[in-house]
């Protein structure tokens, strides 16, 4: 399968614990995005990378959240000291940017986080 992959698919954690999610984008894509989706809402942008550079972060991304893409390939999203409000589906997407043209974003299956 050459699509976007995410791991784990499901994570249940206790409040206060740290969690880390991984995303592997489509191999030729240079942009990688993280979104969060809660029930009844559309996905909300968190942050994105172009290659290894983190170019934009949403105000939704509190100090407890950090994302990395160290070699411009896979990315990790870490949430420290999880809260019940962090329970959501965390979606990763990737796309290709060439010059000024931005191609469509393709999403991974998501990581569903439940904080108890």
Partner 1 sequence: RKEVEQDPGPFNVPEGATVAFNCTYSNSASQSFFWYRQDCRKEPKLLMSVYSSGNEDGRFTAQLNRASQYISLLIRDSKLSDSATYLCVVNEGYSTLTFGKGTMLLVSP
Residue 96 CB, nearest approach to partner 1 (Å): 11
Count the Cβ atoms, other than its own, within 10 Å of residue 38. 12
Greatest Cα pair distance, the chain, in angstroms, is 45
Residues numbered 52-71 forming contacts with partner 1, rule: CB under 8 A: 55-56
Is 104 buried (19+), middle (13-18) or exposed (0-12) by CB count in 10 A? exposed
* Using rule CB under 8 A, residue 82 touches partner 1: no
* Using rule CB under 8 A, residue 42 touches partner 1: yes
Calculate Rg over the CA atoms of the chain: 14
* Using rule CB under 8 A, residue 110 touches partner 1: yes
Q: Which two tokens stand for residue 23?
A: 């995303």
Residue 45 CB, nearest approach to partner 1 (Å): 4
* Using rule CB under 8 A, residue 105 touches partner 1: yes
Binding site for partner 1 (CB under 8 A): 31, 33, 40-45, 48, 55-56, 91, 97, 100-102, 104-110, 112
């Amino acid at each position: 399968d050459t699509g976007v992959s995410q791991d784990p698919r499901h994570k249940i954690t206790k409040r206060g614990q740290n969690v880390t999610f991984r995303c592997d984008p489509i191999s030729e894509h240079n942009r990688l995005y993280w979104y969060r989706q809660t029930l009844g809402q559309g996905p909300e942008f968190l942050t994105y990378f172009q290659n290894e550079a983190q170019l934009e972060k949403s105000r939704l991304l509190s100090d407890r959240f950090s994302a990395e893409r160290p070699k411009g390939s896979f990315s990790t999203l870490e949430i420290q000291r999880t809260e019940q409000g962090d329970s959501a589906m965390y979606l990763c997407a990737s796309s290709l940017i060439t010059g000024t043209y931005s191609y469509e974003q393709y999403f991974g299956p998501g990581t569903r986080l439940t904080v108890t």
